[in-house]
């Protein structure tokens, strides 16, 4: 039999790479990272195509409220290697482009629409003192009123997630700005918004010399001898207090940073967890690159209109200094994507890239399901870290923070 590793890490995205680095800093050298792709990076991978810098996992921008993550990232890629931007993001409503988020910027809509939106927002369930609902669609109606719900939040989220809003939980909604009716009215009367209400990325860092993947490259550099690429984990068996991986590697501990539902069969389809695994779901997106001309300062724009298949547009050369002018990419939910349907200024895309797994879908019951899975495997020394390991809508900084914390708190 092969040697026994102290740790096998599944997946070389930022969570797996950070676990590897931090374990080594703790003195563990007997470890290996298994990555199914031919290079590390996962969702944070960048490609350069005809001079355009393309973050193939979709639009990625860096910032963090965690000092340990800022320190960690800047110790690998110094702060002066980044540009620092004030976010310029927009929403397209019925052909009108206004600042994000819509509820703070109703004043930018034409007068008739403004009135309709305000009446609807004032009549929302929250301001009428109704109890807080527990599914996404009802919650949005309760919080923002029918109009914002029907013209923006529902179509946008259906396009993004690919599931019906009634199936979705409310535990991820801290991701949307928390603005109440009084504030909506105040911003509208004063024709201004309060950007401190953004949940994330009021300002962001973006590498000067490349794409978001520069962060991965800097972190992965010293870990390469410990990463085995082109190695997909398809079998995880428990043998004599050890894990046997793909029938050949043995490990005392396994750290999973990949979607749990993909590992159900690999783990021998544990019957007692079948129901929980079925609530672990993710979507895929397609990122399509275009070359065009634009004269706007936007970084990205949300597009809820269902007649357009994509849900977000990114104006690359407005944030990636090293990118050729005119680059733009669209994000489309996999289920809505049909080859060559979208042209920009008469031009087809220069390439379409599908993510393996983009967003963990917060279907009703997902939180309890992942808690059950993690609780079941933890005593067997199989752990979950990062966006997929925790099955949580985490940004890259949170995935790195979790990995740092996980290794710090780990008892060996
Ligand atoms: C559209 C989009 C926009 C985003 N925007 C931002 C943003 O602006 N800012 C931000 O900070 N974060 C953003 N994020 C989130 C960020 O991408 C993730 O939080 C972060 O990349 C998670 O890292 P991870 O290592 O946990 O997962 P991943 O990057 O997904 O890494 C998992 C790795 O596991 C590998 N793998 C999968 N299955 C197997 C297997 N069976 N065997 C071996 N290897 C396997 C994969 O190939 C991958 O390399 C965004 C995400 C998406 C989808």
Q: Per-residue pLDDT tens for 354-367?
A: 999 999 999 999 99
130, 22: one domain: no
Per-residue pLDDT band at 68 (split at 50, 70, 90): very high
DSSP of 231-296: -----EEEETTEEEETTTEEEEEEEE-S-GGGGTTTTT--GGGHHHHHT--B--EEEEEEE-----
151 lies in a domain?
A: yes
Same domain? 181 vs 248: no
172 and 230 within one domain: no
Which one of 258, 288, 312 would you pick to mutate in the ligand 1 pocket, going by the greatest count of ligand atoms within 8 A of its CB? 258
Mean pLDDT value of segment 149-155: 92
> Per-residue pLDDT averaged across 286-309, rounded?
97
Q: Note the pLDDT of residue 199.
A: 62
Which structural domain, as residue segments, surrounds residue 31?
4-42+210-282+359-409
- Helix axis angle, 67-76 to 213-220, nearest 10°: 80
* Whether 220 and 179 share a structural domain: no
Q: 217 and 189 in one domain?
A: no
User: Is residue 153 located within the same domain as residue 185?
Assistant: yes
Q: Final residue of a domain: which of 154, 169, 196?
A: 196
CATH number at residue 382: 3.50.50.60
- Is 249 near ligand 1, meaning CB less than 6 Å away? no
Is there a single domain that holds both residue 190 and residue 106?
yes
184 and 232 co-located in one domain: no
Question: 142 C-alpha to center of ligand 1: Å?
Answer: 32
Q: What is the mean pLDDT of residues 239-268?
A: 97
- Residues 128, 187: one domain? yes
Any ligand 1 atom below 6 A from CB of 395: yes
pLDDT given for residue 135 in this prediction: 86
Is the pLDDT score of 216 beyond 90? yes
Question: Does 73 map to a domain?
Answer: no
**In this predicted structure, what is the pLDDT of residue 339?**
87
Higher pLDDT pick, 153 / 330: 330
Residue 28 lies in a domain: yes
What Cα–Cα distance (Å) separates residue 123 from each residue in 86, 141, 145, 213, 309? Answer: 33, 10, 7, 45, 31
Query: Whose Cα sits closest to atom 17 in ligand 1?
Result: 43
Which residue is associated with the tokens 């939040």? 153
Q: Are residues 104 and 191 in the same domain?
A: yes
Ligand 1 in reach of 359 Cβ (< 6 A): yes
Say if strands 382-384 and 249-256 run parallel, antiparallel, or are unpaired. Answer: parallel
**Residue 412 pLDDT more than 80?**
no
* pLDDT tier at 1, thresholds 50, 70, 90: low
Q: Is the pLDDT of residue 175 over 90?
A: no
Q: What is the tens place of the pLDDT at every residue in 368-392? A: 999 999 999 999 999 999 999 999 9
36 pLDDT band, cuts 50/70/90, is very high
Q: 69 lies in a domain?
A: no
Average pLDDT over residues 163-169: 88
190 and 224 fall within a common domain? no
48 lies in some domain: no
Please state whether the predicted TM-score (pTM) of the whole model is above 0.85.
yes
**Final residue in a domain of this structure, among 162, 196, 230:** 196
Residue 380, in any domain of the structure: yes
> Of 197, 152, 202, which Cα lies nearest the Cα of 179?
197
Instruction: Give mean pLDDT, residues 320-344.
Output: 95
Q: Is the pLDDT of residue 196 over 80?
A: no
Radius of gyration of the chain (CA): 22
Question: Is the residue at 127 inside a domain?
Answer: yes
3-state secondary structure of 59: coil
Same domain, 108 and 243: no
Could you write out the DSSP letters of every residue in 179-246? --HHHHHHHHHHT---GGG-SS-SEEEEESSS-THHHHHHHHGGGGGGEE-S-----EEEETTEEEET
| 244 has pLDDT over 70 | yes
Is the Cβ–Cβ distance between 184 and 106 less than 8 Å? yes
**Quick check: CB of 309 below 6 Å from ligand 1?**
no
| 316 falls within a domain | no
pLDDT band at 6 (very low <50, low <70, confident <90, very high): very high
Q: For the chain, what is the mean pLDDT?
A: 94
Q: Which of 196, 222, 257 is the last residue of a domain?
A: 196
Tens-digit pLDDT profile for residues 300-320: 999 999 999 999 999 999 999
The CA 81 to ligand 1 mean position distance, Å, reads 23
Strands 89-93 and 96-99: antiparallel
**In the predicted structure, residue 32 carries a pLDDT above the cut 80:** yes
pLDDT per position as a tens digit, 78-108: 999 999 999 999 999 999 999 998 888 999 9
Structural domains counted in the chain: 2
The enclosing domain of 122 has a CATH number of 1.10.3110
């Amino acid at each position: 039999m092969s040697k026994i590793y102290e740790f096998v890490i599944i997946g070389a995205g930022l969570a797996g790479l950070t676990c590897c680095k931090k374990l080594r800093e703790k003195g563990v050298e007997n470890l290996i990272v298994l990555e199914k792709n031919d290079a590390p990076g996962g969702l944070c991978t960048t490609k350069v195509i005809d001079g355009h810098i393309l973050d193939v996992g979709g639009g990625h921008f860096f910032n963090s409220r965690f000092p340990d993550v800022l320190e960690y990232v800047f110790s690998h890629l110094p702060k002066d290697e980044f540009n620092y931007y004030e976010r310029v993001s927009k929403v397209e409503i019925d052909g009108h482009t206004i600042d994000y988020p819509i509820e703070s910027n109703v004043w930018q809509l034409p007068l008739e629409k403004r009135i309709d939106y305000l009446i609807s927002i004032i009549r929302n369930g929250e301001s009428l003192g109704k109890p807080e609902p527990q599914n996404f669609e009802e919650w949005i109606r309760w919080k923002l009123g029918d109009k914002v719900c029907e013209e923006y939040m529902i179509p946008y989220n259906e396009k993004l997630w690919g599931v019906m809003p009634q199936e979705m939980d409310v535990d991820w909604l801290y991701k949307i700005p928390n603005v109440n009716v009084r504030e909506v009215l105040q911003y509208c009367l004063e024709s201004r918004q309060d950007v401190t209400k953004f949940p994330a990325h009021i300002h962001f860092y973006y590498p000067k010399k490349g794409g978001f993947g520069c962060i991965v490259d800097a972190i992965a550099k010293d870990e390469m001898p410990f990463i085995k690429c082109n190695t997909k984990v398809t079998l995880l068996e428990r043998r004599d207090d050890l894990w046997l991986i793909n029938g050949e590697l043995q490990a005392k501990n396994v750290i999973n940073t990949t979607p749990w539902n993909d590992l159900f069969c690999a783990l021998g389809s544990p019957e007692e967890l079948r129901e929980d695994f079925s609530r672990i779901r993710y979507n895929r997106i397609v990122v399509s690159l275009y070359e065009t001309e634009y004269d706007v300062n936007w970084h990205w724009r949300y597009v809820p209109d269902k007649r357009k298949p994509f849900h977000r547009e990114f104006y690359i050369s407005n944030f990636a200094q090293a990118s050729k002018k005119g680059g733009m990419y669209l994000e489309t939910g996999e289920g809505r994507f049909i080859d060559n349907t979208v042209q920009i200024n008469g031009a087809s895309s220069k390439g379409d890239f599908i993510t393996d797994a983009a967003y963990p879908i917060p279907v009703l019951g997902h939180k309890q399901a992942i808690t059950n899975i993690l609780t079941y495997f933890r005593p067997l020394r199989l752990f979950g870290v990062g966006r997929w390991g925790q099955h949580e809508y985490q940004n890259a900084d949170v995935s790195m923070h979790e990995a740092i914390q996980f290794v710090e708190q780990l008892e060996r």
